[in-house]
């Protein structure tokens, strides 16, 4: 399990708590925040393997944040969690779709969440393994 440290940024504090609890139950080291400024400061002070980012929340432009995260640490996997439809299209138009590890449509359950997380890990691992093989 390569992904250990996870940051959840979502303006729905209860969702953040439930997600964090579920992921912690799976053995991940999870931090969460509903405050954009806190999220930014966490990101700048620590290094996360994975970030679950609400696409849009007060005081936060999801795309800017995504760019910042990837700029600071390209290794960080960013999942966009959103209730908005056609988010892929939107990201594609902003030319940032390649920066995201996955999109998680709200409402999601814990299975979906964990599956998504693990599937990207596998992709990542496979990709890394093939790179190592060379």
Partner 1 sequence: MKTIRFDKRKSGIPMVGEVPWGTHFCQFYQNGREFFDVCIPYFKAGLKHNERCVCVTSGPLKNEENKFLKKNLPRFDTYKTSGQIEFVSLEEWNRNKNTAKALFAHLDKGIIKGFDGLRIAFLNFRYPNQFTNTLNTYNILALFAYPHNEFNTIGLMKAVKNHHFALVKNTGKWEILKSSEVSIIKDELKRSEEKLRSLFSNMSEGFAYYRILLDKKGKPYDYIFLEINDAFEKLTGLKAKKIIGRKVTQVLPEIQNDPANWIGKFGKVALSGKPIQFENYAQELQRWYTVSAFCPHKGYFAVTFSDITERKKAEQGLSTAHEQLQMQAEELEATNEELRVQTDELLMANKELQETRDELRKSHDRLEQRVTERTAELQQTHAALLAAQQETERARRLSDIGTLAATVAHELRNPLAAISMAVANIKRKAQNPLLEKNLSNIGKKIIESDQIINNLLFYSRIGNPHYEQVAINQILDECLESLSHRYNTGEIIIIKNTEATKNILIKADPLQMKEVFSNILNNSYDAVSKPEGRIEITTVHSDGLAVCISDNGVGISAADLGKVFEPFFTTKAKGTGLGLSVCKQIIDLHDGTIGIESHENKGTKVCITLRIK
Q: How far apart are CA 58 and CA 121, in angstroms?
A: 30
14 counts as binding partner 1 under rule CB under 8 A: yes
131 counts as binding partner 1 under rule CB under 8 A: no
Region for 59 from its dihedrals, namely left if φ exceeds 0, alpha if ψ lies in -120 to 50, beta otherwise: left
35 counts as binding partner 1 under rule CB under 8 A: no
User: Could you tell me how many residues of this chain bind partner 1 (CB under 8 A)?
Assistant: 24
36 counts as binding partner 1 under rule CB under 8 A: no
31 counts as binding partner 1 under rule CB under 8 A: no
Taking Cα atoms as reference points, which of 15, 5, 11, 19 lies closest to residue 55? 11
Q: Which of 6, 9, 15, 91 binds partner 1 (CB under 8 A)?
A: 15
- Token digits for 46? 């620590």
Residues in 45-84 that interact with partner 1 by CB under 8 A: 81-84
């Amino acid at each position: 399990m390569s992904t250990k440290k996870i940051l959840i940024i979502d303006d729905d504090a209860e969702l953040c708590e439930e997600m964090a609890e579920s992921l912690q139950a799976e053995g991940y080291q999870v931090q969460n925040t509903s405050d954009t400024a806190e999220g930014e400061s966490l990101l700048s002070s620590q290094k996360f393997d994975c970030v679950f980012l609400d696409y849009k929340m007060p005081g936060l432009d999801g795309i800017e944040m995504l760019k910042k995260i990837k700029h600071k640490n390209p290794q960080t996997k960013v999942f966009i969690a959103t209730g908005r439809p056609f988010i892929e299209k939107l990201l594609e138009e902003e030319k940032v779709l390649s920066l995201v590890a996955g999109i998680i449509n709200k409402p999601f359950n814990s299975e979906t969440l964990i599956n998504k997380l693990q599937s990207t890990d596998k992709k990542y691992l496979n990709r890394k393994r093939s790179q190592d093989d060379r």
